Amino acid sequence: MPTVIACFKWVIDEAYIRRGPSGDLDFSSVDYKIGEYDRNAIEEAVRLKEASGAKAIAVTVGMPEAAKGVKDALSRGIDEAYFIADSSFGNLDSSQTALILTEVIRSRIEHYDVILCGEGSSDLYAQQVGPRLAEQLGIPCISFVQKLSLAKDQLVAERRVDEGIEVITAPLPALVTVLPDINVPRIPGVKDTLMAGKKPTAKIIKDDLPPLSEPLVRTISLTSSRMERSCERFGTDAAEIARFVGSLRKKGVIG
Amino acid sequence: MSGVWIISEKRRQSLELLNIGRQLADKMGTHAAALLYHDREHAEDCVSHGADEVMLLPPLAGEEPAESRIPAIAEEAKKGDPDLILLSATPRGKNMAALLAARLNVGLVSSCTQIDYDEGSKTLVMERLAYGGAAVQKVVCSARPAMATIPPRTYETAMPKSGRQGNIRELPSPSSSAIKVIERKVKAKEAKDISEARVVVCVGRGMEKEEDLTIARQLAEAVSGSIGCTRPIAEELHWLPEELCIGLSGIQVKPDLYLGIGVSGQVQHVTGIRNAKVIAAVNKDENAPIFKASDFGIVGDLYDVVPKLISELKK
Ligand SMILES: Cc1cc2nc3c(=O)[nH]c(=O)nc-3n(C[C@H](O)[C@H](O)[C@H](O)COP(=O)(O)OP(=O)(O)OC[C@H]3O[C@@H](n4cnc5c(N)ncnc54)[C@H](O)[C@@H]3O)c2cc1C
């Protein structure tokens, strides 16, 4: 029975970030979510499980608050989860996250066939945890995949490259990062959410891990980039449409 | 050893990278080198556009993927010890950069939009977008070499200068990769480049059917504009080519007028239009975020509004 691992990140929902008075970021009313494309990774793990009887495992590194995300992942059809949590894990760089994942996958998950990651996290979108994890584990990495299937001891993937698409074969185990068009993530129902509470989660704390590596990329500032626009509204009757077109002409942006 | 390296397989992209690469090399008092994929003619071109040295990677066997070049590149980087390595933020460039950074165990700044060299502290300060484009993140790499991927068209191509001299040499043959390419499907045709278009009509998921693109095209024609789209239209529905996807994971546009129809205006999309002079939108949801990012917004059904706009524009 194959084992498929989906890695995900519990991230700030960027739609709730506001611009602070001095151009700083106002996180005071934010909500959290599983990163957009990580939901595709989770869905693909569950899809492979349904197609081949695989076991689907989810792994995440994050703050203790990410427990909600673990439950969310389990309610999406994942069988069991590994939750690596510490209050200092909110600002790891991709190399640190990849090293922690490597350590946990290597020491706790005896056998696996495929590791799935989203093409990038919704917050920092550095698009590197997958390739770095594959390199550390010494397994092939296939990025930007839009179609995936498992054969006996290899996988077949269609990946996006500059000129179009390449169809790739890779021996297992292998790591795959997925694009949003690979599937449509399901929306868990009430029953799924109830079931999620009964599924096993292994919690791993910082003390269980070797000392944290230094970040390779250091953030020196984060400022808001929100732009100010005049936000004028128009209706749909003839006069309003004429006023709208008139406004564009007045700005000199159309002939 | 030191230097600024650019790694690229396409002519235009290598000349763009050489532009910023050469500027930084001059400021840092070092040389610029280009690592290219087996094209001699292109190598001479890079020399006249600012490369002091060109390293050529031999061609790949048929089913070998680009990745099989990683070991040779990593070896060369360990020997040459560059200060900075730049690649283009295209799908392949991003993949190669991430694998190379992982192999060298160094930092990589993805989709970097600006790089400055601070002469006082002798550090490279780089900028990129975070939180879907809601934030600008300034970063520094703490290991050597620093690495970055740069979106195509962030910089102009370098200017050629006659009489420039450079050393061209071949690198060892690529190794064999565990992954194999069993088929290559080349895109039917390259879409028109809209990054310089004066007017862009952008189609969003508010469009119900592919056939309805006709009304977007008619509108584009009425304003002498080009068609662009949101990511779901290009990548989930495949109604339009990926090159027309505007935003964080697509392209940046800077038209005089951006007109979004049926576009919700999530930050990842809006970040691609921030340099538009005027942003206008048609959306039936008065609470759609696009209205907060627009100068002029019509709250209404696009199927009602667009035909009216077309006839008004024709007056
Ligand atoms: C890391 C990351 C990177 C991303 N990069 C990009 C990117 O580069 N580009 C990009 O576009 N997106 C990107 N996205 C996706 C982005 O978050 C949005 O999901 C996407 O832009 C939404 O596209 P849309 O507006 O077409 O669709 P929707 O959000 O579904 O919006 C459709 C809109 O149409 C309106 N509508 C429906 N029917 C009608 C009608 N009849 N008349 C008028 N209005 C109507 C609705 O009110 C709605 O506002 C990215 C997401 C992530 C997480």
**B225 has a pLDDT exceeding 90:** yes
Among the CATH numbers 3.40.50.2000, 3.40.50.300, 3.40.50.620, 3.30.530.20, which is that of B4-170? 3.40.50.620
Pairing of strands A141-150, A174-178: parallel
Closest of A59, A76, A63 to residue A137, by C-alpha: A59
Q: Is B305 in the pocket of ligand 1 (CB under 6 A)?
A: no
Name every chain B residue with its beta carbon within 8 A of the beta carbon of A124: 130-131, 137
Helix axes A129-137, B91-104, angle to 10 degrees: 50
Look up the CATH architecture of domain B194-314: 3-Layer(aba) Sandwich (3.40)
Position A221 in a domain:
no
- Cα–Cα distance for residue pair A139/A106, rounded to 1 Å: 12
Position A234 in a domain:
no
Residue A28's CATH number: 3.40.50.620
Phi, psi angle pair for B139, to nearest 5°: -135, 160
- Cα–Cα distance for residue pair B7/B86, rounded to 1 Å: 6
- Is residue B213 within 8 Å of residue B203, measured between CB atoms? yes
**If you measure from the C-alpha of residue B117 to the centroid of ligand 1, how many angstroms do you get, rounded to a whole number?**
37
Q: Which pair of structure tokens corresponds to residue B205?
A: 């998921």
How many other CB atoms are there within 10 angstroms of residue B124's CB atom?
23
pLDDT tens-digit readout, B131-150: 999 999 999 999 999 999 99
**If you measure from the C-alpha of residue A36 to the centroid of ligand 1, how many angstroms do you get, rounded to a whole number?**
13
Containing structural domain, residue A22: 3-208
Question: DSSP string covering A76-118, please?
Answer: TT--EEEEEE-TTGGG--HHHHHHHHHHHHHHH----SEEEEE
- Cα–Cα distance for residue pair A234/B140, rounded to 1 Å: 45
What are the boundaries of each domain within chain B?
4-170, 194-314
Q: How confident is the model at residue A226 (pLDDT cuts 50, 70, 90)?
A: confident
pLDDT of the residue at B189: 64
Q: Is B250 in the pocket of ligand 1 (CB under 6 A)?
A: yes
Position A15 in a domain:
yes
Domain count, chain A: 1
- In this complex, which of B133, B257, B304 lies closest to A254 when CB atoms are compared? B257
Same fold, B4-170 and B194-314: yes
Residue of A nearest to B110 (CA): A126
- Is residue B282 within 8 Å of residue B306, measured between CB atoms? yes
Q: How confident is the model at residue A255 (pLDDT cuts 50, 70, 90)?
A: confident
pLDDT tens-digit readout, B60-73: 998 999 999 999 99
Position A245 in a domain:
no
Name every chain A residue with its beta carbon within 8 A of the beta carbon of B10: 162
Q: Please name the residues in contact with A151: beta carbons below 8 A apart, sequence gap of 6 or more.
A: none
pLDDT tens-digit readout, A142-174: 999 999 999 889 999 999 999 999 999 999 999
Average pLDDT, chain A: 96
- Cα–Cα distance for residue pair B137/B130, rounded to 1 Å: 6
- Is residue B13 within 8 Å of residue B20, measured between CB atoms? no
Residue of B nearest to A129 (CA): B98
pLDDT tens-digit readout, B17-38: 999 999 999 999 999 999 998 7
Position A114 in a domain:
yes
Tell me which residue has its CA closest to atom 11 in ligand 1. B230
**If you measure from the C-alpha of residue B10 to the centroid of ligand 1, how many angstroms do you get, rounded to a whole number?**
31
Question: What's the predicted TM-score (pTM) here?
Answer: 0.93
- Cα–Cα distance for residue pair A44/B151, rounded to 1 Å: 29
- Cα–Cα distance for residue pair A143/A134, rounded to 1 Å: 11
Please give the ipTM for the structure prediction.
0.94
Position A147 in a domain:
yes
Position A224 in a domain:
no
Average pLDDT, chain B: 95
DSSP conformation class of B262: S
Q: Is B248 in the pocket of ligand 1 (CB under 6 A)?
A: yes
Position A133 in a domain:
yes
